[in-house]
Amino acid sequence: MPRILIVGLLVGLLAGLLVGGFHNLFTVPVIERAIDIEEARSALENPNAPEEDPLVSLRTQRWGMALGTGIYGAILGIVFAAGYSALRRVAPDWKPLALAITAATLGFWALSLFPFIRYPLVPPGVGEPDTLTYRQGLQITFMILSVVGVGVLLYGLREINQRFQETRIRLKMYSGAALAYVVFAVIMFFAYPPNPDPVPVPIDLLELFRTLSMIGQFLIWALMAAGAVAGIQWYERRDAKTGNHFDSVTGARVN
C-alpha cells in the first residue's frame, strides 16, 4: 500500500475525530435549537399530531457524530492522498509542504466550498422529509462532478507538462486549462436546480450553523495537510536512520 494512502487514512481519521469534537462542542447546540424551532412549527401546523420520542438519545447522537466525522475524515483522507499523488506528477519538484497545502486547498474547494456555495447547508431535521432523498442526491452528484472536474484539470496539467517543454507555450496551455475548468464550473453551477425547500430557521441561527460547519470543513482539510507533511517527514527520517532508500510517498525502493 502506498505510504501516502496510509498517511491519508490515518490523518483523515484523526482530523475527523478532532473536528467531531469541535462540532459536539459548538455546532450540536445550534442544531438542537434549529430542531426545536422546526418541531414548534410542525406542532402549530398539526396541533393534533402525537408527540414522538427521539429514537436515539442525545448522548448517543453526540458519539455518533464523532464516529461519523471520523469515518468521513478517513474517506477525505483517501481523496487527499489521491490528490497529493496527482499533484506530485504535475509538479514533481515541489516540496511536501507545497503539495500538501495545494492538495488540501483543491479538496476543500471541490468537496466543501464549491458545493456549499451552490447548496448552503441547513441543520439536520430542517426541510420537508419528502424531498430529503432528492436534496441529498443533488448535493452528492454535485460533489462528485466537482471532484471529477478538478481531477480532469490536474490530468490536463500533467499532459501539458509532458508534451510541452517551452515555458511560453506551457503558460498558454495552463491558461486554457484554467479557463476550461472555470467554464465547466459555471455551467455546472447554473445547470443544477436550487434547493426546493424553504428554510424556516431564523437567519442568525442559520448563518451561525453554516459558519460553524464551514469552519469544521476548513479544519479537517488543514489538519490533513499538516498531518500528511508530518507523516511524510517521519518516513524520511526513519529511512535516513536505517539507511534504506524508499520513495517517501509511494514507498517504492529507490536505486
Lowest mean pLDDT among 2-16, 53-67, 91-105, 235-249: 53-67
Write down the pLDDT at residue 50.
58
pLDDT confidence of residue 194:
87
Q: What are phi and psi of 140, to 5 degrees?
A: -65, -45
| Residue 200 contacts residue 36 (beta carbons within 8 Å) | no
Which residues touch 25 (CB under 8 Å, ≥6 apart)? Answer: none
User: For 114-168, what is each residue's pLDDT tens digit?
Assistant: 999 999 888 776 667 778 888 889 999 999 999 999 999 999 999 999 999 898 9
Q: How would you write 173-227 as a 3-class SS string?
A: HHHHHHHHHHHHHHHHHHHCCCCCCCCCCCHHHHHHHHHHHHHHHHHHHHHHHHH
With pLDDT > 90 as the criterion, what percentage of the chain qualifies?
61
- Domain positions in the chain: 3-242
Question: Of 132 and 15, which is predicted with more confidence?
Answer: 15
> What pLDDT score does 56 carry?
56
Report yes or no on whether pTM surpasses 0.75. yes
Contact 197, 125 (CB under 8 A): no
Phi and psi at residue 253, to the nearest 5°: -70, 135
- Which range, 1-5, 133-137, 184-188, has the best average confidence (pLDDT)? 184-188
Highest-pLDDT range among 158-167, 199-208, 217-226: 217-226
Crossing angle of helices 132-163 and 167-191, in 10° steps, is: 170
pLDDT tens-place string over residues 56-71: 566 677 788 889 999 9
* Separation between Cα atoms, residue 181 and residue 198, nearest integer Å: 31
Question: How much is the pLDDT for 37?
Answer: 74
Tell me the residue type at 247: D
Asked if pLDDT for residue 39 goes beyond 70, the answer is no
Distance CA 44, CA 68 (A): 33
